[in-house]
Amino acid sequence: MTCLTGRSIQTYYTCGYSDFWGHKFLNPQQADVSLHTLHSVNDSGRGSLCVAEQDKDVPFPIQRVFYLHDLPEGIERARHAHRFQDEFLICLGGKVEVTTIRGQNQRHFTMSRPDEGLYLPSMTWISIKVLSAMTTCLVLCSGLYNESDYIRNYAHFEVLQKN
């Protein structure tokens, strides 16, 4: 079994897993999609500051960050799953509806606040529908980009889920 960070060296602990480098993470079979409220500080007149910290807010070591921006209303993004990587999605501006499928559970999340993050564990099918023009989303990832980690065919995803 491969850990959520995409590394294959791991040790099992009763409280979860740890990889060769000592990163603690959840048992991938027990992890579930979850919405997290991030710490936000509003300094009147100067704007707001929002923080997402590894192992406190984001439940995995962060190895890659990317963002989607200038997204037009009505398009769909993602439509894939990751074999081993976890993701943490934050809608920085605009509005999206995220549909997740994990096991037999399908869930819908409407996101429009920069102080909310959606944890997406590995083997979760995700689809993002953009609900407002000029939307920007930030994605924190547990591993570097690796095309072989992506599952882009839903029928293949269903087969892998059953194994």
Q: Which residues are catalytic?
A: 80
Which DSSP helix (H) or strand (E) runs through 156? helix 154-162
Helix and strand counts by DSSP (H, E) for the chain: 1, 15
Question: What is the β-pairing status of strands 116-120 and 34-37?
Answer: antiparallel
